[in-house]
């Protein structure tokens, strides 16, 4: 039996979204990718950074699946 967790229920009710965002270093202009979770006023950006967009997408999909949020590429 597959029951939703409290996190999944709340994420779906709030229309939570997971996506990949670009983080720029103002000192040198370099950029990396991170995972962002947004649900209402709550925002979270992963501390893990990615150079490869495909890896970031896979991580985002996994977090969306775990949290019950919608993944937007």
DSSP 52: -
Rounded to whole angstroms, how far apart are CA atoms 60 and 37?
9
pTM over 0.95: no
- Structure-token pair, residue 6: 């409290």
> Using a CB cutoff of 8 Å and minimum separation of 24, what contacts does 51-54 make?
53/20
Question: What per-residue confidence (pLDDT) applies to 73?
Answer: 84
Mean pLDDT by 10 residues, the chain (73 residues): 88 97 95 97 96 97 97 93
Within 10 angstroms of residue 31's Cβ, the number of other Cβ atoms is 11
Helix (H, G, I), strand (E, B) or coil at 22: strand
């Amino acid at each position: 039996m597959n029951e939703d967790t409290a996190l999944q229920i709340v994420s779906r009710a709030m229309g939570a979204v997971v996506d990949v965002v670009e983080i720029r270093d103002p000192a040198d202009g370099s950029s990396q990718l991170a995972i962002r979770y947004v649900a209402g006023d709550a925002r979270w950006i992963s501390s893990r950074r990615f150079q490869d967009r495909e890896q970031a997408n896979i991580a985002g999909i996994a977090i969306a699946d775990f949290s019950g949020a919608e993944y937007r590429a």
